[in-house]
Amino acid sequence: MLPPPAGSVAQDVARALAEDVGDGDVTAALLPDVADSAYLLCKEAAVVCGRPWFDATHRALDPNVRIDWRVTEGQRVAAGTVLATLQGRARALVTAERTSLNFMQTLSATATVTAAYVDAVRGTNAKILDTRKTLPGLRQAQKYAVRVGGGVNHRIGLFDAVMLKENHVRAAGSLTAAIRAARAMHPALPLIVEVESIAQLEEALREGCDRILIDDFDATMRREAVRIAHALPIDRRIPLEVSGGVDMDTVRAIARDGVDCISIGGLTKHVRAIDLSLKLGPPPA
């Protein structure tokens, strides 16, 4: 699993602290600036994710804080699990509380949902992919959380892969023309082609690309697309991706049809924060 870019973590934390602390935490200033302890409690079952951001937040305010993790990144935990204990300055612990929890709650949510989808397709050949439907400013963080949950990253942005859709086909005059233009302009980049019919699928297979997105195909069309794609020799086979209309009720049936990838915007777009709290004092015995 690729770790998060260190620079991205630092930038996320700096931006979040500037947003929350501003010129200074006027409430934490009421506390005595003495050594204290705290513990991080998970109140529901979850996949733990976000430790780099949690650590960086606290160390930005107290470089000498000690953080002892009791769980690993990506570990599945039960409700009531103490995830970590901290030793540091009371004011810094309180000031860092909300920002560090925001990162942990959001990223653990994405990792937890991703893991549920990965579990749902286990035993098939399908991989669970994310999309660009991320929270603004947190794309690298949420893409990392998808990896922690066992998913696979789609393109990071608009710069690292070419993705042809209906607008490109319309502008080029045909799918074949759009594919050839993309190959000519960006020969080194992966090429993903969205098709809207079996005829377009066959056209994309003839021209060649790195992945074919069969968007909004019904089950009959999807199975026919798999049959056609898998009829090619292995060295010419192009992975098929499904997007749209995917939820926990449909994902396994889609995977069992034989597609290679299932991309789900809800991994990052429809997150519900995991219930965590940071409490001063020692953890309960």
Walk along the chain (285 residues) and give the pLDDT tens digit of each residue. Answer: 788 888 999 999 999 999 999 999 999 999 899 999 999 999 999 999 999 999 999 999 999 999 999 999 999 999 999 999 999 999 999 999 999 999 999 999 999 999 999 999 999 999 999 999 999 999 999 999 999 999 999 999 999 999 999 999 999 999 999 999 999 999 999 999 999 999 999 999 999 999 999 988 999 999 999 999 999 999 899 999 999 889 999 999 999 999 999 999 999 999 999 999 999 999 998
- Asked if residue 130 and residue 21 are part of one domain, the reply reads no
Strand partners, 68: 85
Please report where in the chains the tokens 């082609």 appear, as a residue: 193
- On whether residue 17 sits in a domain, the answer given is yes
- Asked if residue 144 and residue 259 are part of one domain, the reply reads yes
Query: Which CATH number does the domain housing residue 31 bear?
Result: 3.90.1170.20
- Asked if residue 223 and residue 147 are part of one domain, the reply reads yes
- Indicate the pTM of the whole model: 0.95
CA 107, CA 75: separation in Å to the nearest integer? 13
Q: Are strands 76-77 and 46-47 parallel, antiparallel or unpaired?
A: antiparallel
Q: Which residues contact 137 (CB under 8 A, 6 or more apart)?
A: 12, 15
**How many CA atoms are closer than 13 Å to the CA of 46, on its beta-carbon side?**
30
CA 108, CA 112: separation in Å to the nearest integer? 6
- Asked if residue 231 and residue 137 are part of one domain, the reply reads yes
- Phi/psi region, residue 184 (left: phi>0; alpha: psi -120 to 50; beta: rest), is alpha
- Asked if residue 264 and residue 128 are part of one domain, the reply reads yes
Which pLDDT does position 2 carry in this prediction?
A: 81
Strand partners, 127: 261
Q: Which residues are catalytic?
A: 98, 133, 165, 194, 215
Q: Total domain count for the chain?
A: 2
**How many CA atoms are closer than 13 Å to the CA of 109, on its beta-carbon side?**
19
Which pLDDT does position 127 carry in this prediction?
A: 98
- Asked if residue 255 and residue 163 are part of one domain, the reply reads yes
* Closest to 106 measured CA to CA, from 277, 278, 275, 273: 273
Q: Which residues contact 149 (CB under 8 A, 6 or more apart)?
A: 47, 49, 74, 110, 111, 112, 113, 114, 115, 118, 267
Task: Find the domain containing 20 and state its range.
Answer: 6-118+271-280
- Asked if residue 62 and residue 134 are part of one domain, the reply reads no
Q: Are strands 191-195 and 211-214 parallel, antiparallel or unpaired?
A: parallel
- On whether residue 1 sits in a domain, the answer given is no
Q: Which residues contact 238 (CB under 8 A, 6 or more apart)?
A: 204, 205, 208, 209, 210, 211, 212, 229, 232
* Closest to 204 measured CA to CA, from 220, 218, 188, 193: 193
- Asked if residue 90 and residue 12 are part of one domain, the reply reads yes
- Asked if residue 165 and residue 96 are part of one domain, the reply reads no
- On whether residue 285 sits in a domain, the answer given is no
Which pLDDT does position 215 carry in this prediction?
A: 83
- On whether residue 255 sits in a domain, the answer given is yes
